Amino acid sequence: MLLQAVLDGARGNGADGQAVHLREYRYEPCLGCEACRKAGVCTGLQDGMTLLYPKIEQCSGLALVSPVHQYNISARMKAFLDRLYCYYDFTNTRPRGWSSRLAGQGRKAVIGVVAEQAEKKDTGVALEAMRLPLAALGYDIVGEFIALGLFDLGRVAQHEDILAQAREAGKQLAGAL
């Protein structure tokens, strides 16, 4: 529901978008096999991420929303972000220099978290766990939001203020693209 609100905000301001729910894809966490260093794509695993890579490459904007699990993002979101490792190019020196093939393309992102807890401090490192890898990949983070005090499925529908935050993030994303 929060992702849909982000999309509604973006669409209402001239951007086009598609909701992708990670729970609908079966994919494994990165193995650290480094096969992608040679191929430029993940060849170590053939799973649902192969369907997501073209979507990532084709879009200039990205909205990520994760529940807070143990003061962090969900394992599914973490695995998704880790699997974007294949977009990095590395030098052979130690420590290795690196760059992202997604950088320099004007990519923008908004990020949000939803938590049962009532205080921002209880979201821990969740926003940063999305912000840092996206920035390293070349995304400019143009909006963030935190939805607090939500646990039951669909409860966010009762909180227009939180939905408005998500729509505003979508508006910021559309304005930045």
Whether pLDDT at 45 is above 90: yes
Phi, psi of 10 (to 5 degrees): -70, -45
User: What was the pLDDT predicted at 134?
Assistant: 99
Cα–Cα nearest to 7, from 48, 65, 50, 66: 65
Residue 128: pLDDT band (50, 70, 90) is very high
Give the model confidence (pLDDT) of 17-30 as tens digits: 999 999 999 999 99
Six-digit token string for 52:
């997501």
Show the domain range for 29: 2-176
Residue-averaged pLDDT of the chain: 95
Q: Which CATH number belongs to the domain containing residue 121 in this structure?
A: 3.40.50.360
Segment 104-125 shows an average pLDDT of 96
Contact status, residue 112 vs residue 167, Cβ threshold 8 Å? no
Contact status, residue 141 vs residue 111, Cβ threshold 8 Å? yes
User: What was the pLDDT predicted at 156?
Assistant: 84
Whether pLDDT at 154 is above 90: no
Give the integer Cα–Cα distance in Å for 96 and 37. 12
Whether pLDDT at 158 is above 90: no
Number of structural domains in the chain: 1
